Amino acid sequence: MVASPKENGQLIEKIIFINRVAKVHKGGRRFRFSAVVVVGDGAGKVGYGLGKAPEVPDAIRKALEKARKNMISVPVINGTIPHPIIGEYGAAKVLLKPGSPGTGVIAGSTMRAIMDAVGIRDVVTKCIRSTNPHNVVKATFQALESLQSPDYVAKKRGISEEAGEGHGETA
């Protein structure tokens, strides 16, 4: 895992998985590489990318470019997520639960890289089915995209956020 510091507005870049693929020709094997990378600003924005190339550095560079293009915003409240959520993609299913302050990031390597990049400090996660890194990344992003902040939900329901925290009271 390679990470760059987020000082002076730089992005956090983490390599999640590098795969080597061989294609057999008459003269021997031809190797190509694919890389899954996550990029985030540590303050609620994160993206992932997949890059393929004959050399590892080129695959990582392509993945980083795609990750920067496909960034999403995630509601982060006091270093954690606003509510528990389940994300699914293919055979992968992931569970994300908010953690109380001091919990830390309890996650496997794939989801830990994503949580670090987005800036979530306290969260409990679990891969329930497949642990394929490609599908776990996509399931985690599906879950993060589905998160809703309390002010968004309060506005959608037409109540003030402090008005009993969702007990049906109107503003």
- The CATH number of 7-72 is 3.30.160.20
At 42, the amino acid letter reads G
Q: In what order do the strands lie in the sheet with 28-40?
A: 12-25, 28-40, 45-53, 71-73
What pLDDT score was predicted for residue 33?
A: 97
What pLDDT score was predicted for residue 161?
A: 67
Name residue 39's beta-bridge partners: 13, 47
Average pLDDT value over all residues in the chain: 89
Instruction: Give the least confident one: 14-23, 41-50, 145-154.
Output: 145-154
What pLDDT score was predicted for residue 3?
A: 44
Closest to 92 in 3D by CA, of 76, 66, 111, 105: 111
* Exposure string for 68-97, b = 16+ CB within 10 A, e = fewer: eeebeebebeebbbbbebebebeebbbebb
> Token pair for residue 81?
């997520």
Give the Cα-Cα-Cα angle 74, 79, 82 (nearest 5 degrees). 55
Q: Could you read off the pLDDT of 110-154 as tens digits, one per residue?
A: 999 999 999 999 999 999 999 999 999 999 999 999 999 888 888
What pLDDT score was predicted for residue 160?
A: 77
Q: Are 20 and 30 in contact (CB under 8 A)?
A: no
What pLDDT score was predicted for residue 22?
A: 94
Q: Phi/psi of residue 151, each to 5°? A: -70, -35
Q: Is the pLDDT of residue 46 over 70?
A: yes
Q: Is the pLDDT of residue 60 over 50?
A: yes
The domain locations on the chain are 7-72, 74-155
Q: Could you read off the pLDDT of 91-108 as tens digits, one per residue?
A: 999 999 999 999 999 999
Q: How far apart are CA 54 and CA 71, in angstroms?
A: 26
> Token pair for residue 101?
């302050």
What pLDDT score was predicted for residue 163?
A: 61
At 148, the amino acid letter reads Q
Q: Which CATH class is domain 74-155?
A: alpha beta
- Residue 151, SS3? helix
What pLDDT score was predicted for residue 151?
A: 87
> Token pair for residue 120?
């979530």
Mean pLDDT of 70-95: 94
Task: Please give the model's pTM, rounded to 2 decimal places.
Answer: 0.85
Mean pLDDT of 154-168: 70
